[in-house]
Chains A and B, each alone.
Chain A
Amino acid sequence: MHKLLSEKAGEEILLLGNEAIARGAIEAGVAFATTYPGTPSSELSLNLFQVSQETDLYFEYSTNEKVAMEVAAAAANSGLRTMCIMKHVGLNVAADPLMTLAYIGVKAGMVILSADDPYMFSSQNEQDNRYYGKMAGLPVLEPSSVHEAKDMTIAAFELSEKLQEPVILRTTTRINHSSATITTGEIARSKTKGYFEKNPMSYVTVPAVSRTLHVKLLENLKKAANFSESSEYNFINGNDNASYGIICNGVSFLYASDAVKDLGLEENSKILRIGFSNPMPSDLIKSFAKGCQKILIIEEGEPFMEEAVKAFAQEAGITIPIKGKDEGLFSRLYEFDPAMVRRNIAAFFGLPCNSKTPVDTKGLPDIPQRPPNLCSGCSHRATFYEIKKAAEGMDVVYPSDIGCYTLGFLPPLSTGDFVLCMGASVSSACGFSRATDQKVVSFIGDSTFFHSGITGLVNAVFNNHNFTLVILDNGITAMTGHQPNPGVDMTQMNFEGYNRISIEKLVRSLGVEHVTIIKPFKVKKSIAAVKEALAFKGVSVIISQEPCALFAKSIKALKPRPFHVTSKCLDHRDCIDQIACPSFFIDNGRVKIDANTCVGCAVCAQLCPENAIMPLK
């Protein structure tokens, strides 16, 4: 049985934040869940996917976040408790349904999980999705700890049902990827079949209907504001009569709590922790601020709370210093840490702060960097090499996309010149090819192509653009940890009941006239085929098919057959200089291959001028 399905309540278990949220959803009786995978949310979906194999929970990996949101919206309006899971930038994709779903509302609880990523550990930006709550008029809940994340998930379903609106549960990486002990609760029986009761005047958002729905949304928002005032997630810690006020949310609450203790500030300070952050509790904040001499606001990301607190203070005629984002204090950049929070609390309230001094790192040698790299045996490396070879002498712009293959931007492959967001490799190629005389070759992975590359390709064919799109089809959504996508053969993982969409047929059906399939581990043949595609005037598509080596190894479809460098090697180092596979290393000035990591793709063997790279017998 899945570890999150233990029926026993009151057990203490150590869980990852994402697992704790999944357990919370299960305890709340979630019946329906949709997602598009994205770090740092991926393990939450993975756990629900696993749980769905053993229970009545319906779970799907949807084509993209917009689809996930719309599928979920229907389920929630058919009376099923529904969760829709994505990373922060995923909510941009789903923003269109989100804004109007707020007008329509929901019948049963619907929780939208937005996993934000301050510091951009694995994201292209660090946008603050609390603003989506404000923009859509939806409640936002934000946990501070792993344990609270579980409890808040349950509370989010309940709140959603009380308001008949979806609720945004906003986490950050340090919640999703922290582990701590949680106490299990009872698992609620879920209703797994719904019924959609027609009511066009509530569900069909023609202008006349939407005008009334917007009124309803504002009424709901007012109710939400009342809930926020008395929410157990907006609480005050510390001495009620203290003159130093701190307002914080999320993980900053943990850092602030530790700092107050370390600085001996328990008597002189009070902390208002905001866990229900949209709408902000104005009365609570005003009464908290009364009696304070100064207030410090600690929140990662944008000054979301700070702007609200300052406005409330103005209404209440409170003129004390209120600061947060400030040159000498907190930044809108990156994530916070305990020492930074301690230092800024001490500075703002004028207290001494004795932090430990980090050891002197001056005088340490420069240690060679260890950037993430395409894996040994990664088919993308071969494809990139072949495209570069075929395009030698051309002035090429390489728009790329979001996935493992983004790493191809690093030298020596250098096949990423412009990366914007999911799907943009195709559409930006349209722009580059029109706006310049440069050759344009863009890259997109299979999952990303399904997610949002298709519409760009339709645009390219319709408007008769001129570029080559390379679809890197490794048969899985690799970067986020090997999730399914519509092109994946689900039977190889022993899943039944799925169909599979052929990228080739799809591309041809769109009217792309020049379609080439390459097997990237056949180097010479691939280069010749790529040259032809590049010579085509118009939209050409190359589909490079080879399974992700990591995934193939994990399902035992690939048995590594490592190669080695024989004595024929004349030290040209074409292997290292041109494809830079991480299995190569230098030992006593000679190139060697690490047999533990080499999987035997044999790409290096095909480009070695001496044929010196041979299978290890």
Chain B
Amino acid sequence: MDTKRLIIVAVGGQGNLLASKVLGEAALLSGIPVRMSEIHGMAQRGGVVESSIIFGDAVSTIISDGEADLLVGFEPAETLRAMGRCNADTQVVTSLSPVPPFTAAIGRGIYPEIDEMKRLIEERTSRLIAFDGMTLAKEAGSPMTLNIVMVGALVQSNILDLTRESVEKAIQLKTRPAFVDMNLKAFSLGFDAAKACCSI
């Protein structure tokens, strides 16, 4: 089986760990070997949270610089910050809704322009799917569903061997029962948004 390496980057509190859990469960349901690694501890304190998910036959649980097949970012500046994890063949899916770090508010650094970030990512990687994930999350019913919007987009991109059905099943199994419908809507909105990006 082909090995596919996925890195998800997000700001603490954006639901990166749940997104990873859903993808891991979907892989398990589909009989695809999966291993994941994440760093806990600082997640709720506004730092960067990164998960590595490896599908297929490799046995490692982390991904070296330049070795991601797919980079998914829940925040555009974090996606750009993670560029070193990509190579020229890497595909990138990112939300464009900015969450400027607090350091920018107190004048330590300037938050880059969105269009500029898009261009910089596009130039360096093989394909970029970028859209305003927060608008879709709100449309689904809550800003908290941004993680599932992004899962929808990455499944549509077809880079992984995960089917839409398996991921929807995993959402039903792994997200809180009260939020399943909202999450399925978020998934579908992300899926469609990625499709729209690809057809441009």
Decide if A and B are genuine partners: yes
Chain A residues engaging chain B, CB cutoff 8 angstroms: 12-14, 39-40, 42-43, 121-122, 145-146, 173-174, 177-181, 251, 254-255, 257-258, 337-340, 355-361, 363-375, 404, 407, 412, 479-481, 550, 576-577, 580, 582, 584-586, 596
Whether the pair A174, B109 counts as a contact (CB closer than 8 A) is no
B87 within 8 A of A: yes
State in angstroms the CA–CA spacing of A213 and B37 once bound together: 43
State in angstroms the CA–CA spacing of A104 and B111 once bound together: 60
Whether the pair B41, A121 counts as a contact (CB closer than 8 A) is yes
Query: With A174-B37, A181-B34 as given contacts, are A254 and B60 in contact (CB-CB < 8 Å)?
Result: yes
Whether the pair A585, B36 counts as a contact (CB closer than 8 A) is no
The residue in chain B whose Cβ has the minimal distance to the Cβ of A585 is B105
User: Contact partner of A367 among B33, B45, B77, CB < 8 A?
Assistant: B77
Show 30 residue pairs from A and B whose CB-CB distance is below 8 angstroms, ordered by the A residue. A14-B24, A40-B40, A42-B40, A145-B35, A145-B61, A174-B62, A177-B37, A179-B21, A179-B36, A181-B33, A251-B60, A255-B60, A258-B59, A338-B58, A338-B62, A339-B65, A355-B67, A356-B89, A357-B87, A359-B83, A359-B88, A363-B120, A364-B83, A366-B109, A366-B110, A367-B80, A367-B111, A370-B47, A370-B102, A580-B102
Q: Which residues of A contact B78 (CB under 8 A)?
A: 370
User: Contact partner of A368 among B12, B35, B37, B103, CB < 8 A?
Assistant: B103
Q: Which residues of B contact A576 (CB under 8 A)?
A: 105-106
The residue in chain B whose Cβ has the minimal distance to the Cβ of A117 is B41
**Which 8 pairs across A and B sit closest by C-beta, in order of nearness?**
A368-B109, A358-B66, A339-B64, A372-B47, A122-B41, A372-B45, A178-B61, A370-B101
Whether the pair A361, B84 counts as a contact (CB closer than 8 A) is yes
Known A122-B42, A177-B40, A359-B124; 11 more pairs at CB < 8 Å: A14-B34, A180-B34, A254-B61, A258-B58, A339-B65, A357-B87, A365-B80, A368-B77, A370-B11, A585-B100, A585-B102
Q: Which residues of A contact B81 (CB under 8 A)?
A: 367
State in angstroms the CA–CA spacing of A177 and B109 once bound together: 32
Whether the pair A375, B44 counts as a contact (CB closer than 8 A) is yes
B90 within 8 A of A: yes
State in angstroms the CA–CA spacing of A255 and B34 once bound together: 15
Whether the pair B41, A374 counts as a contact (CB closer than 8 A) is no
User: Contact partner of A359 among B11, B84, B100, CB < 8 A?
Assistant: B84
User: Which residues of chain B (110-154) have a CB below 8 Å from chain A?
Assistant: 110-112, 116, 120, 124-125, 143
Query: With A43-B40, A359-B84, A364-B80 as given contacts, are A407 and B124 in contact (CB-CB < 8 Å)?
Result: no
Query: With A181-B34, A356-B66, A585-B105 as given contacts, are A174 and B80 in contact (CB-CB < 8 Å)?
Result: no
User: Contact partner of A582 among B33, B46, B120, B143, CB < 8 A?
Assistant: B46
Q: Which residues of A contact B198 (CB under 8 A)?
A: none
User: Contact partner of A584 among B47, B89, B105, CB < 8 A?
Assistant: B105
The residue in chain A whose Cβ has the minimal distance to the Cβ of B103 is A368
CB distance from B17 to the nearest CB of A (A): 10
State in angstroms the CA–CA spacing of A357 and B68 once bound together: 11
Whether the pair B37, A357 counts as a contact (CB closer than 8 A) is no
Q: Which residues of A contact B88 (CB under 8 A)?
A: 357, 359
Q: Which residues of B contact A339 (CB under 8 A)?
A: 64-67
Query: With A179-B24, A360-B124, A372-B45 as given contacts, are A338 and B105 in contact (CB-CB < 8 Å)?
Result: no
State in angstroms the CA–CA spacing of A367 and B78 once bound together: 8
State in angstroms the CA–CA spacing of A261 and B111 once bound together: 42
CB distance from B89 to the nearest CB of A (A): 8
CB distance from B132 to the nearest CB of A (A): 17
Q: Which residues of B contact A13 (CB under 8 A)?
A: 28
Interface size on B, residues (CB 8 A): 61
State in angstroms the CA–CA spacing of A608 and B102 once bound together: 19
State in angstroms the CA–CA spacing of A497 and B88 once bound together: 60
User: Contact partner of A337 among B42, B62, B106, B120, CB < 8 A?
Assistant: B62
Q: Which residues of B contact A340 (CB under 8 A)?
A: 64
Q: Which residues of A contact B58 (CB under 8 A)?
A: 258, 338
Whether the pair A365, B112 counts as a contact (CB closer than 8 A) is yes
Whether the pair A367, B112 counts as a contact (CB closer than 8 A) is yes
Inter-chain residue pair count (beta carbon < 8 A): 179
Q: Which residues of B contact A122 (CB under 8 A)?
A: 40-42
CB distance from B46 to the nearest CB of A (A): 5
State in angstroms the CA–CA spacing of A480 and B124 once bound together: 38
CB distance from B123 to the nearest CB of A (A): 9
Whether the pair A375, B59 counts as a contact (CB closer than 8 A) is no
Whether the pair A369, B108 counts as a contact (CB closer than 8 A) is yes
State in angstroms the CA–CA spacing of A465 and B137 once bound together: 57
State in angstroms the CA–CA spacing of A598 and B35 once bound together: 36
B48 within 8 A of A: yes
Whether the pair B25, A404 counts as a contact (CB closer than 8 A) is no
Whether the pair B85, A358 counts as a contact (CB closer than 8 A) is yes
Whether the pair B37, A121 counts as a contact (CB closer than 8 A) is no
B72 within 8 A of A: no
Whether the pair A407, B36 counts as a contact (CB closer than 8 A) is no
Q: Which residues of B contact A412 (CB under 8 A)?
A: 106
Q: Which residues of A contact B28 (CB under 8 A)?
A: 12-14, 181
Whether the pair A374, B45 counts as a contact (CB closer than 8 A) is yes
State in angstroms the CA–CA spacing of A364 and B84 once bound together: 11
State in angstroms the CA–CA spacing of A481 and B42 once bound together: 10
Query: With A180-B61, A359-B86 as given contacts, are A370 and B37 in contact (CB-CB < 8 Å)?
Result: no
State in angstroms the CA–CA spacing of A254 and B37 once bound together: 13
Q: Which residues of A contact B104 (CB under 8 A)?
A: 368, 586
B160 within 8 A of A: no
User: Contact partner of B109 among A357, A359, A360, A369, CB < 8 A?
Assistant: A369
Whether the pair B39, A368 counts as a contact (CB closer than 8 A) is no
State in angstroms the CA–CA spacing of A357 and B64 once bound together: 11
Most buried by B among A146, A255, A371, A374: A371
Q: Which residues of B contact A374 (CB under 8 A)?
A: 45
Query: With A358-B84, A368-B108 as given contacts, are A121 and B39 in contact (CB-CB < 8 Å)?
Result: yes
Query: With A178-B37, A178-B61, A338-B67 as given contacts, are A361 and B48 in contact (CB-CB < 8 Å)?
Result: no
Query: With A177-B39, A338-B60, A582-B102 as given contacts, are A370 and B46 in contact (CB-CB < 8 Å)?
Result: yes
Whether the pair B45, A373 counts as a contact (CB closer than 8 A) is yes
Q: Which residues of A contact B48 (CB under 8 A)?
A: 370
Whether the pair B45, A375 counts as a contact (CB closer than 8 A) is yes
The residue in chain B whose Cβ has the minimal distance to the Cβ of A375 is B45
Q: Mark B1-43, 1 if CB is under 8 A from A, else 0.
A: 0000000000110000000110011001000011111111110
State in angstroms the CA–CA spacing of A352 and B65 once bound together: 19
Q: Which residues of B contact A145 (CB under 8 A)?
A: 35, 59, 61
Q: Which residues of A contact B65 (CB under 8 A)?
A: 337, 339, 358
Q: Which residues of B contact A178 (CB under 8 A)?
A: 35-38, 61
State in angstroms the CA–CA spacing of A177 and B38 once bound together: 6
Q: Which residues of B contact A481 (CB under 8 A)?
A: 40
Most buried by B among A121, A356, A366, A479: A356
B63 within 8 A of A: yes
Q: Which residues of B contact A596 (CB under 8 A)?
A: 143
Query: With A251-B61, A339-B67, A361-B84 as given contacts, are A369 and B103 in contact (CB-CB < 8 Å)?
Result: yes
Q: Which residues of B contact A14 (CB under 8 A)?
A: 21, 24-25, 28, 34
Whether the pair B34, A39 counts as a contact (CB closer than 8 A) is no
State in angstroms the CA–CA spacing of A577 and B102 once bound together: 12
Q: Which residues of B contact A39 (CB under 8 A)?
A: 40-41
State in angstroms the CA–CA spacing of A15 and B143 once bound together: 27
Whether the pair A174, B41 counts as a contact (CB closer than 8 A) is no
